[in-house]
Structure 1
Amino acid sequence: MMMGLGPLLLIFMLGSCLTQPNPAPDDQRYKIFLNQHYDPTPDGHDDRYCEVTMKRRDLTSPCKDINTFIHGTKKKIKAVCEDKNGKPYGEHFRISKSPFQVTICRHHGGSNQPPCKYRATAGSRYIVIACEHGLPVHLDRTFYRP
């Protein structure tokens, strides 16, 4: 009886080692956050930058009304989720202790179908984000702080 279970147990153990676990849901949300809001080295901060980047990131079908790109390192953005560069803001968010360079892309013009036209506003702003398990998963807003 024991002899028959040995090969079966070995096959089960090998099979479980070969299957890749699904990424954690918060890790997926972090990847989506990066696609929508992270651009460490922008090619300008003008209208053309917005139009090209929004299209490249697949945020133009339909045209997204507004989107903000954060120009900082992943490490600095993640630090907003900790006390290093962030502090609690409201019930569910964190606000950065230091400002980030950002480009805000606002859709303008008639249709919300491509081709999308955007106007860019660049500046230094504080960011408000939601975090899960130490990772940013949602950009709530940005603003100037007096």
Structure 2
Amino acid sequence: MYFKGAGPVLFALLAIAFIVGTYAADYKTFLSHHYDNPKSNVGKNYCDVMMQRRGMTKPNCKPVNSMIHAPKKQIVDVCGKGGKAYKNGLRRSNKKFSVTTCKHHGGSTREPCKYRESKTSRYIVVRCAGNYPVHFDEGII
């Protein structure tokens, strides 16, 4: 009888653990793809090196990716007071961030991938899960 009453509570706890685990994995992927602070000193081919280092060249070259050069706390804050609601459930930062955008150019979509680098100061637009960014919207520059 005790387990029958505890079933819903146990189910709720498992569901919460699953959701939190999913958010944590998505946030970890977000950081792997979009966070680089301070900006890595990898020589003159920053985008070529970073895209490969971060696993975005296999099996195909990722067409576009941006790296944010700011402390994690400032990026995470976009999901709170440091950002405001944008369209389609996205959030736009209140302040500009230093961002390097890597765009694949010409040739094969397979390795070796070649990228062009563009450094800008711009607002960032992210999708948040809970209090953490899990997606960077590349389409809004």
Could you say which residue in structure 2 is the equivalent of 1:39? 36
Query: Which runs of no fewer than 5 residues in structure 1 stay unpaired?
Result: 1-20
Alpha-carbon distance in 2 for matches of 1:127, 1:26 = 20
Residue 68 of structure 2 corresponds to 70
Q: Deviations over 1:23-45 (max 9, x none)?
A: 61011000000001000111359
What amino acid maps onto 2:99 in structure 1?
Answer: V
Output the TM-score relative to the length of structure 2.
0.81
From the two aligned structures, give the one with the greater helix fraction: 2
Match of 2:114 among 109, 114, 117: 117
Greater strand share, structure number: 1
> How many Å separate the matches in 2 of 1:102 and 1:46?
17
Give a deviation string over 1:80-101, Cα, whole Å, max 9, x none: 0002x10000131100000000
Partner residue in 1 for 2:80: 82
Q: Is the 8 A contact 2:42 2:49 kept in 1?
A: no
Structure 1's consecutive aligned runs of 4 or more residues displaced over 3 angstroms after TM superposition are: 43-47
How many Å apart are 1:110 and its aligned residue?
1.2
Larger Rg: 1
How many residue pairs get matched? 122
Specify whether residues 121 and 46 from structure 1 end up closer, same or farther in structure 2 by C-alpha distance, changes over 3 A only.
farther
Are the aligned partners of 2:30 and 2:134 in contact in 1 as well (CA < 8 Å)? yes
Determine helix, strand or coil for the equivalent of 2:79. Answer: coil
Give ranges in structure 2 of 5+ residues lacking alignment: 1-16
In the other structure, the counterpart of 1:138 is 135
Distance (whole Å) between structure 1 residues aligned to residue 128 and residue 23 of structure 2: 9
Q: d(CA) in 2 for partners of 1:86 and 1:117?
A: 33
Q: TM-score by structure 1 length? A: 0.78
Cα 1:45–1:126 change in 2 (3 A) is farther
SS of the aligned residue for 2:123 comes to strand
Q: CA deviation at 1:46?
A: 8.0
The code of the aligned residue for 1:80 comes to V
